[in-house]
Amino acid sequence: MLFARDKISGLRADIVAQILTLSNVQYGSKCLVLDHNLGLITSAVTSRILPQGVCIQLLPDYEVLYTARKTMNMLNIREAEWPENVLSITIRDLYKIFKGLDNFEHEDSILQARADEQLSRLVKRFESLSPGTNDTTKRVKLDHADQDDQILKDIAKKDANRINRHRERALAAKHLKEHALDALILVVHNDHPLPLLKLLLPFIAPSRQFVIYSEISAPLIECQQFLKANSMAVSLQLSESRLRKYQVLPDRTRPEMNTTGFGGFLLSGIKAFHG
């Protein structure tokens, strides 16, 4: 899936390297990453910061978490080995933290109550089945038992995922409330980066670096103008990179005839103290 393509959603290998360099991701960094590229950027960041750093992956919803973690497993970054270093949180939950409306314990208690209610209904259903002695009744009861067993497994799996999600969300909230993250990386495609930048920039510490990637330059120009107008960042750079591969053969070393010139655009900068 990953190795059969030269680019993933417009990202080339050299663009990934530039993102990591411009954001100053290094050992022990605390990074906030919005990644719509199958978890590729998250995996690259995590491989640099471990074992002391923290990578908080920002998600549109928890449904896409499985794909990102699958990519990390493919790159030998095991989620179970770093339970406090690789975290995830949704944009909605982060907005609650931004507004000071986070009450995740209460939300988790509601979900737990719903799970308990579903489990109790399942137990009552199982107990309501009459024992019966004929073969037909036994087969019906056996079928119901198999279905109920599968439902119990699904409930247990969902409950484990909920507990793990609540743990990650609580740890992520703890780091975010410190407003001392070291790097911000936004890789956007269908979303406009400016509202996300306004929401996320306060969570990184002053004099820390941020990078925004977009396939088109217009949204990045708006972000650049906003940051300049409000004196929120310095050393702003809007760049486009081009990669040209070379054919290296005896007496035939030359640039390749066919190449892809487009590589997307990067806006990078350093957060100002009063930003």
pLDDT tens series, the chain, 275 aa: 444 344 566 678 888 999 999 999 999 999 999 987 778 888 889 889 988 899 998 888 776 666 777 777 777 777 767 778 888 888 888 888 888 877 766 566 666 666 666 666 666 665 565 455 444 444 445 455 556 566 667 667 777 777 778 888 888 988 999 999 999 999 988 788 999 999 999 999 999 999 999 988 999 999 999 999 999 999 999 998 877 788 898 888 988 887 766 778 999 999 998 64
What pLDDT is attached to residue 149? Answer: 66
Quote the CA–CA distance of 103 and 91 in Å, as a whole number.
15
Residues in the chain: 275
What pLDDT is attached to residue 14? Answer: 85
What pLDDT is attached to residue 13? Answer: 82
The answer to whether 194 and 226 are in contact (CB under 8 A) is: yes
The answer to whether 217 and 244 are in contact (CB under 8 A) is: no
- Fold type of domain 5-102+169-271: Rossmann fold (3.40.50)
The answer to whether 78 and 68 are in contact (CB under 8 A) is: no
157: alpha, beta or left? (left if phi > 0; alpha if psi -120 to 50) = alpha
Q: How far from 84 is each of 37, 87, 149, 165, CA to CA, in Å?
A: 23, 7, 33, 12
What pLDDT is attached to residue 27? Answer: 92
Q: In what order do the strands lie in the sheet with 233-240?
A: 86-90, 54-59, 30-35, 181-187, 204-214, 265-271, 233-240
What pLDDT is attached to residue 98? Answer: 87
**What are the residue ranges of helices labelled H in the chain?**
13-22, 40-49, 65-74, 91-99, 104-128, 135-177, 193-200, 218-229
What pLDDT is attached to residue 195? Answer: 93
What pLDDT is attached to residue 8? Answer: 66
- The structural domains of the chain, with segments of one domain joined by +, span 5-102+169-271
Quote the CA–CA distance of 97 and 11 in Å, as a whole number.
31
What pLDDT is attached to residue 267? Answer: 95
What pLDDT is attached to residue 3? Answer: 44
The answer to whether 205 and 182 are in contact (CB under 8 A) is: yes
